[in-house]
Amino acid sequence: MNYWLVKSDPETYAWSDLLKDGKTSWDGVRNYAARIHLRAMKKGDKVLVYHSGGESMVLGIASVTKEFYQDPTTKDEAWISVELKAEKSLKQPVTLQQIKSEKKLANIALIKISRLSVMPVTPDEYHKILEMAE
């Protein structure tokens, strides 16, 4: 199993929208590095859902239910999406400030490559964020 973090502005598609919808196509990604990560996602992988755009926090856990397919928001075959299913909200959101303050997360892509909207996280990083949410 692999672990990922996806980012979305809450006014575009919020964690609460994913909870309400149950599942969604994670589409509209137009970054080549992020596309590589979408292509690598496998069914059952765990995904941290992060609000960007001022909120800057991890709010919930989703899982990949469908591996990459043509992004339905474009006819350009170069762009893909995956299907994500909401699993659960974190007990306490984990803020970017908390992540930056945690030494064990010093190398997380969220800090190192902050503009990337889809990124891998290591198992240790994933579990540390879950621990911080308790």
32, pLDDT greater than 90: yes
Neighbour tally for 76: CB within 10 Å: 9
Neighbour tally for 50: CB within 10 Å: 24
Q: Is 70 helix (H, G, I), strand (E, B) or coil?
A: strand
> Between residues 17 and 115, which one has the greater pLDDT?
17
Backbone angles phi, psi at 49, to 5 degrees: -105, 125
Mean pLDDT of 13-38: 97
Mean pLDDT of 1-29: 97
Q: What is the per-residue pLDDT for 54?
A: 86
Split at pLDDT 50, 70, 90, the class of 131 is very high
95, pLDDT greater than 90: yes
Mean pLDDT of 2-11: 97
Share of the chain above pLDDT 90, in %: 97
**What's the maximum distance between 2 C-alpha atoms anywhere in the chain?**
43
Helix (H), strand (E) at residue 45: none
- The reported pTM is 0.96
